[in-house]
Amino acid sequence: MTTLAEMALAHALRDRLPALLGGAVTLNALAPLHGGSGQENFRLDVAIDDGPLAGRRTFALRGDALQPTPNVVSRALEAAVIEAALAAGVRTPRLHGLLPDLFGVGLDAYLADFVAGIALGPRIVRDPAFAPARARLPLQLAEALATLHALTPATHPALPIDRAPFERHLDPVAAALQWFERTLDALDAPRPAAEYALRWLRHHPPASREITLVHGDFRTGNFLVTEQGLSAILDWENAHWGNPLEDLAWLTLRDWRFGQLDLPVGGFGALEPFLAAYVDLSGRPIRPADLHWWAVAGNLRSALSAVHNGRGTLEIERMATPRRAPEMEFEALRLIEVGP
């Protein structure tokens, strides 16, 4: 059923798409894209009568959330990150420009190619049709991360994604600890397991202090997969200056394996070949203790985010997220006990 909000959006798009796409545009279909993202996502089917993009085309529209998530970049800044990643060779949908204030004053959107593939984690890790993709994904993802992590504050000094505490001049470990402290202090009730994990992180810092561009939410569910393998990296809203091991560890968290617990890399791959491919492609050695630190940190971040995202919202899906926090806290404590 089309809502009044979708009707208003369709009307605005009919007015604004011709200038953006360089030709007369007929909007044939507009449908929301679901999948857990905090932003406004839609599929557009259009016919462009003339200009460089003439023909029938499908686009993805991604707009700023009406109820924003704290400490993520805006769609305008996300678009800047995507352009940098595209230029470097990362597989991510090509952009076709910004639509300022599309969802309200200060709520922008960008238009991107609609790329084939699925992002549904359970299907990616279990569906027999995706077995060939699962065999290819570890190497493809290692290549994507090695390419992304070649982008640094030195190579991209004008990329405007600095936001406290993830700023290019700060030690990424200190920034992560600061974020944990701020988030815990903002909660209404104490969380002893999280406090214990934070204390362990303070007392066992990793050696690596390298700073690169990191995706910030690189996991199964945030990339598109066809039966042939990786087709596109999505959801760059958490991109920031940080340590590259953050992305590597995040992909291996238990929460993103969708029940395939014996396959640490996203629920479809073994850890050692994936890390070996990344080291070979990036030239960046990995200390097991450093990766372990970021895995503990990742579970703590996931737990605190689940609690925080469920506060002050009337959205059913977000209201339910805090119930999952104890699972991630338990996993952080389990990792601390078993060690690297």
Cβ contact 104:12 at 8 Å: no
34 vs 200: CA distance, rounded Å: 37
Query: Does the structure show a pLDDT above 80 at 66?
Result: no
Of 249, 252, 246, 247, nearest to 266 by C-alpha is 252
Domains 4-113 and 121-338 share a fold: no
Q: Determine phi and psi for 337, rounding to 5 degrees.
A: -70, -45
Least confident of 43-57, 67-81, 197-211, 226-240: 67-81
Least confident of 148-162, 311-325, 326-340: 311-325
pLDDT band at 320 (very low <50, low <70, confident <90, very high): low
Least confident of 8-22, 59-73, 192-206: 59-73
pLDDT tens-digit profile of 78-112? 999 999 999 999 999 999 999 999 999 999 999 99
Cβ contact 161:238 at 8 Å: no
Cβ contact 74:132 at 8 Å: no
pLDDT band at 318 (very low <50, low <70, confident <90, very high): low
Cβ contact 82:115 at 8 Å: no
Query: Does the structure show a pLDDT above 80 at 272?
Result: yes
Query: Does the structure show a pLDDT above 80 at 6?
Result: yes
Beta strand 95-99 pairing with 223-226: unpaired
Cα-based distances in Å from 220 to 41, 106, 189, 207, 267: 18, 31, 31, 27, 8
pLDDT band at 177 (very low <50, low <70, confident <90, very high): very high
pLDDT tens-digit profile of 20-54? 999 899 999 999 987 655 789 999 999 999 888 99
Cβ contact 161:73 at 8 Å: yes
Query: Does the structure show a pLDDT above 90 at 3?
Result: no
Mean pLDDT across the stretch 229-253? Answer: 97
Which sequence spans correspond to the domains of the chain? 4-113, 121-338
Mean pLDDT across the stretch 164-175? Answer: 93
Mean pLDDT across the stretch 133-157? Answer: 98
| CATH architecture, domain 121-338 | Alpha-Beta Complex (3.90)
> In the structure encoding, which two tokens stand for residue 59, read together?
């686009």
137 vs 135: CA distance, rounded Å: 6
Q: What per-residue confidence (pLDDT) applies to 219?
A: 97
88 vs 103: CA distance, rounded Å: 30
> In the structure encoding, which two tokens stand for residue 294, read together?
């970021």
- How much is the mean pLDDT over the chain? 93
Q: What per-residue confidence (pLDDT) applies to 322?
A: 73
Least confident of 26-35, 105-114, 169-178, 270-279: 26-35
Q: What per-residue confidence (pLDDT) applies to 1?
A: 46
217 vs 123: CA distance, rounded Å: 19
More confident residue, 40 or 313: 40
> In the structure encoding, which two tokens stand for residue 192, read together?
């002893």
Q: What per-residue confidence (pLDDT) applies to 310?
A: 60
**Above pLDDT 90, what percent of the chain?**
84
How many other CB atoms are there within 10 angstroms of residue 227's CB atom? 12
Mean pLDDT across the stretch 238-256? Answer: 97
234 vs 215: CA distance, rounded Å: 9
Query: Does the structure show a pLDDT above 50 at 329?
Result: yes
The CATH superfamily holding the domain 4-113 is Phosphorylase Kinase; domain 1 (3.30.200.20)
